[in-house]
Structure 1
Amino acid sequence: MKGETDDGVLNQQVISVWVRDPRIQKNDFWHAYIDYEICLHTDSVCFTKKVSRVRRRYSEFVWLRQKLQANSQLMSRLPTLPPKNPFFSMNNARQITERMTGLQNFLTEILQSPQLLSDSCLHLFLQSDLSVSRIEACAAGRTHFSVAQAVHRCGLRRFHSEEDLHKDVSMCCDSDLDSSEPETKSLSMNKAASTTLLDLMATSINSSSDSI
């Protein structure tokens, strides 16, 4: 994104977003879901935290779109999400990769809108580990902590540079998405799917607008 300073000099502001690292999370023996890591790297003044990582599932993306639509009444149409597939399989690498591509494209378009960038729910979704119900409460001022405090207290490892972020993305994929977290089963993708995943992780947005 580009913003114009008082002296008329254009100041380049970058917001890069990745959706990656799908993992199967088990609620119990019969119920499981996939969540995805959202990596954000920016120098935009719209964000108080310049580098962050959180995990979100598909249903939370659906909630975010509904919330943004309700909060931005002037916008007639928001970007679409990848459609819900009744035959979606957690063992199908192609379907998972296509969903990640759709989720990343959705965020890419969302982050191009100055109006949406002012929405507290979007910031909490991208940069806090709050549940959607807690996001709603925090954005409405019904919590003992502020939006900024929720973002800052999200205990995620910070990267020293964008190069470190890209390095971590590649290492994560090359290591077959191993995880030592309890009740978590990493997805093993075939070589072709892994290559596709790396390609879409390498995409980022350098979106432009008149002002932020």
Structure 2
Amino acid sequence: MQQVISVWVRDPRIRKNDFWHAYIDYEICLHTDSVCFTKKISSVRRRFSEFVWLRQKLQANSMLMVQLPDLPPKNPFFSLNSAQQITERMKGLQKFLEQVLQSSLLLSDSCLHLFLQSQLSVSKIHACAAGRTHYSVAQAVQRCGLRRFHSEEDLQKDLGMSCDSDSDSSECKDPEKQLEDLPMNKAESAASLEFIGTSQESTLSCSSGSI
């Protein structure tokens, strides 16, 4: 049976670093029945610079065996007040992810899974995928994200309780701190990582026809 991986980039929000600097992040919703993912439904928020990092990382990890799709071009005149520019960028980011998820080779990259389904920063994603953290890729993925959504109303309801990288919630404020309390059971980790490796060299048994 054909397996489905659906991804949406939506809900742009302006975030302020300080009084003078601001940026936009986007919600990434993923819904799948693919064996390549241990979490079937998730929601995280990422900004454009993190997408740029992801593309560079995937290209390096694939050793140029895959030509990565392009991201929306950087616009020196990009305005946080332009709904048209924001919408065009958002659509471009979604198209990028849709094309990435069609590659079985890229689906074997732990960085992609952590980007899509964890709240870790890009530096912590790099460390976790390289096996330099006390928590595994699967543990980082399982700690945050939506359990289920079936309608727009359900999605919005769940989003109010889900982890957000900019949330003030004590439960989700620091994903790495949450992961400090996880037990390191080697047998459990090995079982849970059947489809997601803890390093960038690991591979998943997913054929290109399974997407």
What is the TM-score when the length of structure 2 is the normalising length? Answer: 0.73
Alpha-carbon RMSD across the aligned residues, in angstroms, is 2.2
Deviation at 1:157, TM superposition (A): 3.2
Partner of 1:85: 75
**1:105-124 mapped onto 2 (5 Å cutoff):** 105-124=95-114
> What percentage of residue pairs aligned between the two structures are identical?
76
> Distance in 2 between the 1:41 and 1:141 partners?
27
Q: Which amino acid aligns with 2:138?
A: A
> Distance in 2 between the 1:75 and 1:40 partners?
25
Deviation at 1:136, TM superposition (A): 0.3
**Residue 12 (1) aligns with residue 2 (2):** yes
**Residue 54 (1) aligns with residue 54 (2):** no
Three-state SS of the structure 1 residue aligned to 2:103 is coil
> Distance in 1 between the 2:77 and 2:154 partners?
32
Deviation at 1:74, TM superposition (A): 4.2
Provide Cα deviations, 1:151-181, integer angstroms capped at 9, x if missing partner: 0012x33224xx32x4456899xxxxxxxx6
Deviation at 1:15, TM superposition (A): 0.3
Q: Which amino acid aligns with 2:135?
A: F
Deviation at 1:124, TM superposition (A): 0.1
> Distance in 1 between the 2:120 and 2:132 partners?
14
Give the 3 Å change call, closer, same or farther, for CA 159–96 of structure 1 in structure 2: same
**Residue 65 (1) aligns with residue 64 (2):** no
**Residue 157 (1) aligns with residue 146 (2):** yes
Structure showing the higher strand proportion among its residues = 1
Provide Cα deviations, 1:20-73, integer angstroms capped at 9, x if missing partner: 000001011001100000000000000000000000000000000000000001
Partner of 1:135: 125
Deviation at 1:96, TM superposition (A): 0.3
Three-state SS of the structure 1 residue aligned to 2:38 is coil
Three-state SS of the structure 2 residue aligned to 1:210 is helix
> Distance in 1 between the 2:68 and 2:38 partners?
25
Structure 2: unaligned runs, 5 residues or longer: 159-166, 169-206
Partner of 2:209: 210
Provide Cα deviations, 1:137-160, integer angstroms capped at 9, x if missing partner: 000000010000000012x33224
> Distance in 1 between the 2:209 and 2:6 partners?
18
Structure 1: unaligned runs, 5 residues or longer: 1-10, 173-180, 183-207
Asked if 1 retains the 8 angstrom alpha-carbon contact of 2:39 and 2:141, the reply is yes
Segments of 4+ moved more than 2 angstroms: 166-172, 208-212
Three-state SS of the structure 1 residue aligned to 2:208 is coil
> Distance in 1 between the 2:88 and 2:105 partners?
28
> Distance in 2 between the 1:106 and 1:169 partners?
23
- Larger RCO, structure (CA 8 Å, separation 6 or more): 1
What is the TM-score when the length of structure 1 is the normalising length? Answer: 0.73
Q: Which amino acid aligns with 1:137?
A: A
Provide Cα deviations, 1:74-127, integer angstroms capped at 9, x if missing partner: 425210000000000001000000000000000000000000000000000000
Deviates more, 1:45-54 or 1:66-75: 66-75
Q: Which amino acid aligns with 2:116?
A: L
Aligned residues: 166
Deviation at 1:209, TM superposition (A): 3.2
> Distance in 1 between the 2:6 and 2:210 partners?
18
